[in-house]
Amino acid sequence: MTIAQRIRSFITETFFVDRFNEGESFLASGVIDSTGMMELVLFLEQEFSIKIHDWELIPENLDSLARASAFVSRKQRAATAA
C-alpha cells in the first residue's frame, strides 16, 4: 500500500468520509477539523515512524492528501539520508 493509500484509509475509517479529492483541503472542505488534524499528525508519526515538529504543522505540509503524502515522503527521505 502506498503512503497516500494508507493515509486515505485512515481518514475514511476515522472520520467516516466516503470521498475526497487528493488535492482537496481537509480543513476548507470539512473532511477533517482542527482536532482531527492532531489525530492525523499522531497517525502519521506512528504509522510512518517520523517526528513532526511544531513548526512543520502548517497547511502546506498537511492540508490535503497530496500534501500530507509528499510531506511524509520528504520526512522519510531525510531520515534515511541522515
What is the domain-level CATH number for residue 46? 1.10.1200.10
| Residue-level pLDDT at 7 | 98
Q: Is 82's pLDDT higher than 80?
A: no
Q: Is 75's pLDDT higher than 80?
A: yes
Look-up: residue for cell 488534524? 37
pLDDT tens-digit readout, 24-72? 999 999 999 999 999 999 999 999 999 999 999 999 999 999 999 999 9
| Distance from C-alpha of 33 to C-alpha of 48, rounded to nearest angstrom | 22
Range of the domain at 51: 3-81
Q: Are 23 and 66 in contact (CB under 8 A)?
A: yes
Instruction: Say how many C-beta atoms besides its own lie within 10 A of residue 13's C-beta.
Output: 9
Please state the domain count of the chain: 1
- Does the pTM surpass 0.85? The reply is yes
- Cα distances (angstroms) measured from residue 80 to each of 2, 56, 75: 18, 19, 9
Q: For CA atoms 26, 24, 9, 48, give the dihedral sign.
A: negative
